[in-house]
Amino acid sequence: MERTMWTDSKIKEEISNVMSTLNIHRMPSNSEIYAATHSTALTNAITRRGGFYKWAEKLELPIKESDTKTGSTYELYAMATMISKGLNVVRMSVRHPYDLLVNKNIKVDVKVSSAYLNNGSLVNTVGLGKEFATCDLYVIYLRHRSGELDRTLIIPGYEVRHKYLNIGKDSKYNKYIDRWDLFQTYDNLRERLEL
């Protein structure tokens, strides 16, 4: 298999191809690129050469603002849920590799995905960005196509070894639906380690 040389012109060409495939007139998101190409190669090239915002600016393409707003909204939603459960939550800056720090020791990455039809089945694709987790727990909100919340998964970072998760209705990750108790498990582990 021949290895692609990711020059600026090649990245520009492939972004244009994804936009054409998806019939959109803005910078595609990483999950849209994956849906169109079934590969992380273009996303990796974009990330290595400045990131999505830089490329959107360079190509004079608008960003899908709803992705940013939706992600931020769900981070706040996750915080409110955790606080209601008695957890101490700090929202991290965008420079951190995770979104929230819970009880001063649990690193949490919040993700949200809307379902789409893939080969006749509804699937949620969740872009994690990296094969090995930089967080202790993922809080993943899966939405129906309508935008309504379908289910919430609390998945330990060590369980995930993929840059993307494709989660269908009968996913192996369903065992992590509403596993808010894992926060207590992590706190208990920290207490044992401090002895």
| Residue found by looking up tokens 């819970």 in the block | 102
Cα 171 to Cα 177: distance, rounded to the nearest angstrom: 10
SS (H, E, C) 67-80: HHHHHHHHHHHHHH
Cβ proximity of 89 and 99 under 8 Å:
no
Q: Is residue 153 classed exposed, middle or buried when 0-12, 13-18 and 19+ CB atoms within 10 A define those classes? A: buried
pLDDT at 83: 96
Cα separation values, 81 from 12, 74, 86, 102, 149, Å: 41, 10, 9, 12, 14
Q: Is residue 29 classed exposed, middle or buried when 0-12, 13-18 and 19+ CB atoms within 10 A define those classes? A: buried
Sign of CA dihedral 53, 59, 60, 66: negative
* Structural domains of the chain ordered from first start: 8-63 (no CATH), 66-193 (3.40.1350.10)
Contacts of 185 (CB under 8 A, 6+ apart): none
Model confidence, pTM:
0.67
For each of the chain's 195 residues, which pLDDT tens digit applies? 457 789 999 999 999 999 998 888 888 988 889 888 988 899 889 888 888 878 888 898 887 755 667 788 899 999 999 999 999 999 988 778 899 999 999 999 999 988 887 778 888 888 887 888 999 999 999 998 888 999 999 999 999 988 888 899 999 999 999 999 999 999 998 888 876
Sign of CA dihedral 165, 170, 173, 176: positive
